[in-house]
Amino acid sequence: MQIGFIGLGIMGRPMALNLKAAGHDLIVPDRKSLTDELRAAATVVGDAAAVAEAAEIVILMLPDTPDVERVLFGPHGVAEGLTAGKLVIDMSSISPIATKGFAARINAQGCDYLDAPVSGGEVGAKAASLTIMIGGPEAAFERARPLFEKMGKNITLVGVENGAGQTCKVANQIIVALTIQAVGEALTFARKAGADPARVRQALMGGFASSRILELHGERMIERKFAPGFRIRLHQKDLSLALGAAREMGMALPNTAIAQQMFSTVTALGGADQDHSALVRAIERMAGMAE
């Protein structure tokens, strides 16, 4: 297929290269940040409109809701290059409500739209083992399935209406944030009590407390490796979506609110672009412990 890919950052770059490795043709917009590897792998065109004009399917992997809106509908945006029958897939993590509006505008041009946010971080993007949560028409999902299978392993059509995938991703981010907080509290407790947190983590990995977050993020916390796989500022964005939707529905998400405040503390310490496992820094501060 002729695949347009817009958003070639930490996640998007390996996702796009996995599609190229599977035999698809890549079309990307010209950016100063494009690596030599991507320039060699893809056809580089002037802007998002040119990407949409040349591609059968356009994939977006962008940081936030305003970024998606700008790339879709701003000057020289995707919408300007679309013709009937094309498919737009937004794999960013953005507002479910805004997603419904974006889909309606793309549908009005005779094109299909899928929201397909992912979980699995940089590791999953490189290994093509992402979890992909999709909202949109079943026929469009089946059309895109071969592409999803080259980027992920756990692929689920959550609902046939747009926004369902984004809703699922918000739920995912609540669980991830709260589990990071739990692992951070447990390891900080162990350290404060005089136990070796690395040995505590190893012991817990064989019990009911075991999780991927304890395995991967617990190791990051112990080894102080906070280079971003997924940045705190992006997780804050996702939790803001959760808390905003909860207000609209008249429900409380008390532990989500606490996790958001923990992330805000690390941001105040200069860690907005650190990996979300750096939430442990806030817990350590509250425990009166030096980093």
| Distance of alpha carbon 218 from alpha carbon 187, whole angstroms | 8
Q: Which of 169, 192, 225, 237 is catalytic?
A: 169
For the residues of 192-209, what is the DSSP string, one character each?
HTT--HHHHHHHHTTSTT
Confirm whether 150 is a catalytic residue: no
| Distance of alpha carbon 214 from alpha carbon 234, whole angstroms | 20
What are the φ and ψ backbone dihedral angles of 44, each rounded to 5 degrees?
Answer: -100, 125
DSSP strand E in 118-229: where? 118-119, 130-135, 152-159
CA 212 vs CA 216, 218, 273, 274: distances in Å: 6, 9, 22, 19
| Distance of alpha carbon 92 from alpha carbon 126, whole angstroms | 16
Catalytic positions are 169
